[in-house]
Structure 1
Amino acid sequence: MSFKNFKVVEKLIFGRGSFNQLDEVLAAQRKSADDFVVFVVDDVHRGKPLEGRIPLKAQDLLLWVNVDDEPTTEQVDGLTAEVQAFNGKLPVSVIGLGGGSTMDLAKAVSLMLTNPGGSAMYQGWDLIKNPAVHHVGIPTVSGTGAEASRTAVLCGPERKLGLNSDYTVFDQIIMDSELIDGVPTDQWFYTGMDCYIHCVESLEGTFLNEFARAYAEKAMDLCREVYLGDHPEKDDKLMMASFMGGMSIAYSQVGACHAVSYGLSYVLGYHHGIGNCIAFDVLDEFYPEGVAEFRQMLKKHNITLPKNICKDLPDDTIAAMVKVTKSMGPLWANVYGEGWQEKVTDEMLTALFRRI
């Protein structure tokens, strides 16, 4: 029997104020005076105090990115072209500063600088051939687990699917919980629920093992302290929950909610966090206890989810969502095990989407 040999983040700094060590981290990568770094930064921070704290040198490139919509392969290819046009040689590091979408863009750019062709070619599992440029993840919103994961999730010409590879994993992450203070409540909730749902899907899945269970159970406990208990150290706890939730699926997999959410996001444009929440709210038959607790969290934080968004959509729109959702084989295997194809039918998925 062969066991999965997966890569984890090699270096990690955790602690309030640890963002200040970024310059020191990058100094270790800069070997000559003209070595440059690329900063991929969520444009929500433009003109804010964090912009002035970015350790930008004269020769570096700062790319502001807008993630109001889900990141796309086209966006990645455009950013990669900007870096290539900026300097004839490779950067010594690519920094992703923002939420999961921004970190995924940074991961994808670091990969596409060393792999030929467009990023859509690499949507799938282990298609990346060459190691990425050194890359660093710094979350300013917590929940997605992007800082810990081996994927960069992108909407491509055919579907929403990640660049899943060992080369995708960050070389370094900096987890400074001061950076997530002040995130708007809706975004804080939806992104944090991505972590909670990771844990439910991991713990209820057929791929479950003690490695995944250990991380998922602790991450779920932390989510409960944050979203049901309003713990005074909630930012620190959510940041660790996000990381551990990401680690829990490294040796297992997500499940039905993420599969359905990918369909919602790709066709209707919902962001990953809210897409997960909308999907999870109708998945009682899959995760009854998790959905019930999730609804307690919704109520506590006065979050109102969109309802009946798919009820009256044209059949071809529903069919497009079904196609994307049905293509998530590893996720459905985690739900049903072998033979999942017999249970995940167009009819079943169509009925599920019509309830959303």
Structure 2
Amino acid sequence: MVSRVVFGRGSFSQLEDIIAPKRLSVSAPFIFLVDAVFEKKATLSGRIPLAYDDKVIFISADEEPKTSQVDALVEEIILTCKQRPSGIIGIGGGTIMDMAKAVAIMITNEGESKDYQGWDLVKNPAIYHVGIPTISGTGAEVSRTTILTGPVRKLGINSDYTPFDQVILDPELTKGVPKDQWFYTGMDCYVHCIESLNGTYLNAFSQSYGEKALELCKEIFLDDTLDEKESADKLMMASWHGGMSIAYSQVGVAHAMSYGLGYLLGVKHGVGNCIVFEHLEEYYPEGVAMYKKMRAKHNITIPQGICTNLTDEQFNIMIDVALSLEPLWENAIGKNWQKVMTREKLRALYSKM
């Protein structure tokens, strides 16, 4: 679990006080990885508490994070810093959260980040790392994984060393998020709840978080009485609880198939979940029905026909990526999932998208 968390409007202003005791020396900088959307927005970038040799690196979140990006960032940090950094501070959405966690891990572990895609492969603790989400829904601020696209797969670095040491949850930072993006990331949280609560890995611990997150999602996306501030506060909490739920259970069919879309076509994770979830009535009938109600209420258009012109080879790549995520399928279907989810069935599902 994340050992320390601060929540509240304006809590970003506490960042300087929070990280100051963690500074190792004046030559050991904090590295701030910040979503490039804030590069010209002094309302946030101008508030970053820089001192000594601290450095801000702006990162585009237009594409899903890649292992090659992580390795390049780690090399840049090692070559330009006099000493090992005091810590990595990620400020942004799920992409930046995952990049910050991965960079913090790779500074203390040899090799390339692709070597650690999988479960419990990390040997050395990461350096101190802080997550400050500026959009809610992905749960990346609380999860024990980093979702990275590597040369052969899209898979997270899942380990006990992955979670942030400190998270700052300031709903004010989510103001101004475009509506489509707000919906896609919010649905990532909603799908987390549905897949966790309907999975074979479900336990009382994950259930308690999943049920609360689902309750909040219903309020946020179906209740007309919430004002903008209440909605933002609740979605930030839903994201946290949804992330906690899957941290102690697992996701399922939508995420497995979304990873296939992301790896081959570069589809952003939240959008990919929505594209896939449209066609999963067989597995999550009540969840899909409610999702479609939410989508219609907010007048969101989901991309169609993205798999129409794919070749057999491309379909096989997506299928291979999806089927490689065995824990997700076991959670969704059970230990005999391979008898149920055949390549032919996956191909038929992808063909609808």
Q: Same fold (TM over 0.5)?
A: yes
Q: Aligned partner of 2:276: which letter?
A: A
Aligned-residue CA RMSD (Å) = 0.9
Q: What TM-score do the two structures reach when normalised by structure 2? A: 0.97
The answer to whether structure 1 residue 179 and structure 2 residue 176 are counterparts is: no
Structure 2 equivalent of residue 328 of structure 1: 325
Q: Work out the CA distance in 2 between the residues paired with 1:304 and 1:249.
A: 27
Which 4+ residue blocks in structure 1 deviate beyond 2 angstroms?
Answer: 31-35
Partner residue of 1:53? 47
Secondary structure of 1:162's counterpart equals: strand
- Secondary structure of the structure 1 residue equivalent to 2:215: helix
Q: Matches of 1:30 and 1:279 in 2, distance apart?
A: 44
Instruction: Specify the code of the residue in structure 2 equivalent to 1:138.
Output: I
1:308–1:33: structure 2 CA closer, same or farther, 3 Å change rule? Answer: closer
1:260: which partner in 2? 257
CA distance in 1, matches of 2:92, 2:308: 34
Query: Aligned partners of 2:159, 2:175: CA distance in 1, in Å?
Result: 31
The superposition leaves residues 237-291 of structure 1 with CA deviations (integer Å, 9 ceiling, x where unpaired) of: 0000000000001111000000000000000110000000000011111111111
**Displacement after TM superposition at 1:185 (Å):** 0.3
Partner deviation per Cα, 1:321-344 (whole Å, 9 max, x = no partner): 101001110000001111212222
Q: Which residue of 2 aligns with 1:4?
A: none
Distance 1:85 1:17 in 2: 35
CA distance in structure 1 between the aligned counterparts of 2:183 and 2:96, rounded to whole angstroms: 18
1:13 aligns with 2:6: yes
Q: Tell me whether 1:26 sits opposite 2:19 in the alignment.
A: yes
Report matched runs for 1:23-172 at 5 Å.
23-48=16-41, 49-172=43-166
| Aligned equivalents of 2:336, 2:281: Cα separation in 1 | 22
| Equivalent pair of 2:27/2:52 in contact (CA under 8 Å) | no
Which one of the candidate residues 299, 302, 325 is aligned to 2:299? 302
The equivalent residue for 1:237 is 234
One-letter amino acid of the structure 2 residue matched with residue 92 of structure 1? S
How does 1:201-350 map onto structure 2 within 5 Å? 201-230=195-224, 231-232=226-227, 233-350=230-347
**1:308 Cα deviation (Å)?**
2.1
Q: CA deviation at 1:311?
A: 2.9
Residue 82 (structure 1) shift? 1.0
**1:85 shift after superposition:** 1.1
- 5+ long unaligned stretches in structure 2: none
Q: Unaligned regions of 5+ residues in structure 1, if any?
A: 1-7
Query: Please, what TM-score do these two structures have when normalized by structure 1?
Result: 0.97
C-alpha distance in 1 between matches for 2:67 and 2:308:
30
Letter in 2 for 1:36: P
**Partner Cα separation in structure 1 for residue 6 and residue 28 of structure 2:** 23
Give per-residue Cα distances to partners, 1:10-44, cap 9 Å, x unaligned: 00000000000000011010143333100000000
SS at match of 1:138: strand
Amino acid of the structure 1 residue aligned with 2:129: H
* C-alpha distance in 1 between matches for 2:18 and 2:96: 20
Shift of 1:317: 1.0
| Amino acid in structure 2 at the alignment position of 1:333 | E
Give the Cα separation in 2 of the matches to 1:247 and 1:35.
32
Query: Within 1, Cα distance between the matches of 2:84 and 2:216?
Result: 40
SS at match of 2:199: coil
* Contact in 1 for aligned 2:32/2:56 (Cα 8 Å): yes
Cα distance in structure 2, aligned partners of 1:120 and 1:88:
26
Q: Conserved in 1, the CA contact under 8 Å of 2:29 and 2:54?
A: yes
Identity of aligned residues (%): 56
Task: Output the amino acid matched with 1:242.
Answer: S
Corresponding residue for residue 182 of structure 2 = 188
The number of residues matched between the two structures is 349
Question: Which sits farther off after the overlay, 82-91 or 113-122?
Answer: 82-91
Shift of 1:224: 1.1
Q: Could you give the per-residue CA deviations for residues 202-257 of structure 1, whole angstroms, max 9, x where no partner exists? A: 01111111111110111011111111114220000000000000000111100000
The residue identity in structure 1 corresponding to 2:109 is: N
Cα distance in structure 1, aligned partners of 2:336 and 2:216: 34
